[in-house]
């Protein structure tokens, strides 16, 4: 049995802003059959404190980056969950990282340094008689933990793994905060946690962790290039022997389609059209559930949409983000009978959309792994994706070879521009009109391996390999 402490800034079902929460929530149960006892540490945001049930105090600090703090032990399903309750850092209205207006909390460096310090302390000293063998850190919010672990003298006994979910977010703060964050000044250099004269929490994790991982094999390769590495590609090339790409999965007990074969989708398609008062057109009903940002390629989609709509296709969109994109899609919905736009996020609506859609669009400029296309595969809602990151690793393109072999599960497009996406949408319309081919692709998609089974086995093997026998 390998003992692992997972350190994350969010975790379903308690708090979620993105795919990191799904991973942190799913991993413990997925790993248990593989001989891994994983306990998880997350911050005690208001939603977390309100969402947990019975709890037991297992540790306390009088002073932790500006105030007192308590560790509560509770359970998330059958798994042990530790919650860092530090009201001066986490008890505030707004999101996990910023206020209601989307502005980052100015004390984010201290907030997540506290999470990292507590994680390192638990691993170095143990908790409740339980001693982790591996500390699994997720993204910049736990990036200081491997460095703190080393400073506390636990690095020779406890191994650390740093997982990059999105390298675009690096946890930067000014060098004047070295003392405030209780960081060793000796590490502020090019080979340490310094990044263009700033402190980088993510870089600290990438430098001081024993092993590195990211959430798809293709993204691991992309990260070592200037185009995708966000200034850290050189460091990752130096550590490429320690870097592995492990695909995310989804919890198939939660994401279960309300039908067992492709024919069952028809009723849900009709219900989705009725919900949004869309006409019963002959082309594919496409759905998009996404943050509305440039990263997600939605500016390109706006240019390419006529290729779908002019051929009888439709689009139902759910998301929020950049105001310019929100206005553009709302305007499209007002002027075109084949488009429906909902600004915001509604989990129930997202599920109805994926169940009723014929295809799901994911035209991202970069996508470390992506979960949306996995939901689409599970529901037989064929993904149309850009050829990048985890999208490249999970969707089998309906190329002539893919169709001839009878294994295609969706469409990939490259290069990333409006013309290429428009061509993919035109191909989508043609495939949809070919009933037998479309039914075969749906069946292939629904049979795709999207669970955590394979990836959990990969992580379990990696943890076992990392365990230090001092």
Beta bridge partners of 290: 319
> Which is nearest to 452 in space by CA: 161, 29, 163, 138?
29
How many CA atoms within 13 Å lie on the side-chain side of 386?
Answer: 25
What letter would DSSP give residue 130? B
Write b or e for each residue in 127-159: b if 16 or more Cβ atoms lie within 10 A of its Cβ, otherwise e.
Answer: beeebbbbbbbbbbbbbbbbbbbbbeebbebbb
Contact 105, 97 (CB under 8 A): yes
What letter would DSSP give residue 236? H
Contact 111, 139 (CB under 8 A): no
β-pair type (69-76, 79-85): antiparallel
Contact 361, 381 (CB under 8 A): no
How far lies 87's CA from each of 17, 46, 54, 92, in Å?
A: 20, 9, 19, 8
Contact 112, 148 (CB under 8 A): no
CB atoms within 10 A of CB 105: 18
Angle (CA) 149-154-155 rounded to 5° is 75
Torsion angle of alpha carbons 361, 389, 373, 457, nearest 10°?
A: 180
Helix (H) or strand (E) holding 134: strand 134-138
Binding residues, as ranges, are 16
Binding residues for ADP-alpha-D-glucose, as ranges, are 16
Cα–Cα distance for residue pair 55/212, rounded to 1 Å: 33
Count of positions (residues) in the chain: 470
Beta bridge partners of 4: 38, 134
Residue with tokens 């850290």: 232
How far lies 384's CA from each of 124, 300, 428, in Å?
A: 46, 13, 8
**Structure tokens, 313:** 């296709």
């Amino acid at each position: 049995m390998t003992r692992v402490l997972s350190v994350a800034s969010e975790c379903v079902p308690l708090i979620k802003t993105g795919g990191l929460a799904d991973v942190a929530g799913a991993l413990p149960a997925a790993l248990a059959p593989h001989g891994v006892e994983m306990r998880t540490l997350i911050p005690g945001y208001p939603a977390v404190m309100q969402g947990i049930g019975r709890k037991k105090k297992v540790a306390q600090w009088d002073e932790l980056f500006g105030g007192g703090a308590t560790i509560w032990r509770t359970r998330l399903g059958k798994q042990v969950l530790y919650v860092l309750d530090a009201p001066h850092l986490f008890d505030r209205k707004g999101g996990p990282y910023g206020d209601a207006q989307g502005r980052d909390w100015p004390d984010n460096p201290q907030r997540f340094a506290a999470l990292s310090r507590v994680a390192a302390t638990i691993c170095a000293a143990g908790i409740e008689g339980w001693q982790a063998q591996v500390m699994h850190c997720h993204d910049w919010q736990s990036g200081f933990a491997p460095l703190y672990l080393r400073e506390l003298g636990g690095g020779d006994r406890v191994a650390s793994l740093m997982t990059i979910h999105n390298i675009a977010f690096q946890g930067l703060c000014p060098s004047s905060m070295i003392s405030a964050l209780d960081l060793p000044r000796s590490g502020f250099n090019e080979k340490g946690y310094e990044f263009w004269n700033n402190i980088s929490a993510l870089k600290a994790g990438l430098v001081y962790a024993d092993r590195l991982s990211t959430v798809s094999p293709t993204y691991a390769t992309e990260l070592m290039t200037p185009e995708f590495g966000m200034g850290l590609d050189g460091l990752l090339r130096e550590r490429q022997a320690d870097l592995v790409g492990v695909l995310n999965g989804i919890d198939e007990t939660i994401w279960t389609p309300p039908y067992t074969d492709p024919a069952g989708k028809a009723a849900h398609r009709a219900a989705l059209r009725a919900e949004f008062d869309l006409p019963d057109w002959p082309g594919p009903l496409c759905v998009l559930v996404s943050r509305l940002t440039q990263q997600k390629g939605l500016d390109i989609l706006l240019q390419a949409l006529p290729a779908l709509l002019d051929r009888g296709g439709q689009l139902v969109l759910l998301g929020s983000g950049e105001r310019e994109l929100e206005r553009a899609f709302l305007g499209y919905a007002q002027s075109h009978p084949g488009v429906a736009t909902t600004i915001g996020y509604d989990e129930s609506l997202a599920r109805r959309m994926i169940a009723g859609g014929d295809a799901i669009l994911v035209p991202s400029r970069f996508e470390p792994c992506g979960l949306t296309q996995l939901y689409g595969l599970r529901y037989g809602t064929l993904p149309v994706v850009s050829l990048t990151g985890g999208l490249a690793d999970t969707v089998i393109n309906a190329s002539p070879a893919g169709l001839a072999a009878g294994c295609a599960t969706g469409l990939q497009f490259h290069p990333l521009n409006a013309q290429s996406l428009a061509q993919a949408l035109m191909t989508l319309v043609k495939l949809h009109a070919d009933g037998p081919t479309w039914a075969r692709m749906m069946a292939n998609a629904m049979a795709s391996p999207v669970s955590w089974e394979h990836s959990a086995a990969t992580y379990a093997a990696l943890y076992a390999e990392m365990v230090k026998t001092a």
